[in-house]
Structure 1
Amino acid sequence: MLRDTEVAAVLPAKDMNRAKDFYRDKLGLEPMEPGDDNLMFQCGNGTRFLLYQTDNAGTARNTQMGWVTDDVERDVQDLRSRGVVFEEYDFPGLKTENGIATSDAGKAAWFLDSEGNILSLFERP
């Protein structure tokens, strides 16, 4: 049943106005409908994600959502030009260089949104 059902990510936001500004100004996304309590955004192929108000925002220490891209370097450069700051990691099995990790699985880059949520870009080989 679920394999044929659309999936939508859900992200927490402590400050909805700040989050809306970040997603609009830094990522170039507009909410599907105006709202104060929740904001729904649509991305490629009909995928969506919801931002909702909670004081728990920014407490997860794992990647919460990611975009699949055909060119991580291009997208990192574009987002940096908008003020997005990419994380640098150096863990066993994961090391970024200039914000991008490369492995047999592909290339990936991570950044924080205005609410402390960890987001990613991923390029398959």
Structure 2
Amino acid sequence: MLADVPTFSSFSVDDVDRALVFYRDTLGLDAEITDMGIVQLNLAGGARAIAYPKPGHRPADFTVLNFVVDDVDAAVEDLHARGVETKIYTDPDLGTDARGVARDNGGPPIAWFRDPAGNVLSVLEDD
């Protein structure tokens, strides 16, 4: 039943106007505030996600959106040029380099960053 129905992801934010500016203007995504007062992200491949306002919002301590890129280093450089900080983890076992990219950790090269509400996002390289 559920395998054949449209699906979207959602996460909370503390300020939809700041979220809109970040996702639309900083990251360059197709984003808008809907009539319901939520930020709708229209993502590549027809996917979508929503960011909804939540009183008492607490940032997700897990990755809520992963952006698959051809070149994680180029993506990190672009994020830095847009004012986005990628080195958010300092755990030595995570193995991130000075720019915040984790490599050779059993998965693809990946860098994490936060939205203005503190939610964790990532760019990761696909083989």
TM-score range, shorter chain: 0.7 to 0.9
Q: Which has the higher strand share?
A: 1
Change (3 A) 1:33 1:79: same
Deviation of 1:14 (Å)? 0.8
Partner of 1:85, secondary structure, is coil
CA distance in 1, matches of 2:65, 2:87: 15
1:109 and 2:96 equivalent? no
The whole-number CA distance in structure 2 between the counterparts of 1:5 and 1:94 is 37
SS state at 1:66 partner: strand
Q: Alpha-carbon deviation of 1:117?
A: 0.5
Scaled by the length of structure 1, what TM-score is found? 0.85
**Runs of at least 4 residues of structure 1 off by over 6 A?**
none
Alignment-mate amino acid for residue 105 of structure 1: G
Mapping for residues 1-125 of structure 1, pairs under 5 Å = 1-31=1-31, 34-35=34-35, 37-91=37-91, 93-97=93-97, 98-103=99-104, 104-125=106-127
Tell me, in whole angstroms, the C-alpha distance in 2 between the residues paired with 1:25 and 1:110: 19
Q: Is the CA contact (8 Å cut-off) linking 1:22 and 1:114 kept in structure 2?
A: yes
Name structure 2 gaps, 5 residues minimum: none
Aligned-partner Cα distance in 2 for 1:16–1:83:
19
Partner letter of residue 63 of structure 1? T
Letter in 1 for 2:19: A
Query: Which amino acid in structure 2 is aligned with residue 76 of structure 1?
Result: V
Alpha-carbon contact 2:60-2:119 (below 8 Å) kept? yes
RMSD (Å) for aligned C-alpha atoms: 2.1
- Number of residue pairs the alignment of both structures matches: 125
Cα distance in 2 for residues equivalent to 1:22 and 1:73: 21
Summarize deviations over 1:41-89 as a string: whole Å, max 9, x none. Answer: 1111111110101024343211111111111111111111111111243
* Structure 1: 5+ residue stretches without partners: none
Q: 1:35 to 1:71 in 2, by over 3 A?
A: farther
What TM-score do you get using the length of structure 2 for normalisation?
Answer: 0.84
User: C-alpha distance in 1, partners of 2:3/2:92?
Assistant: 33
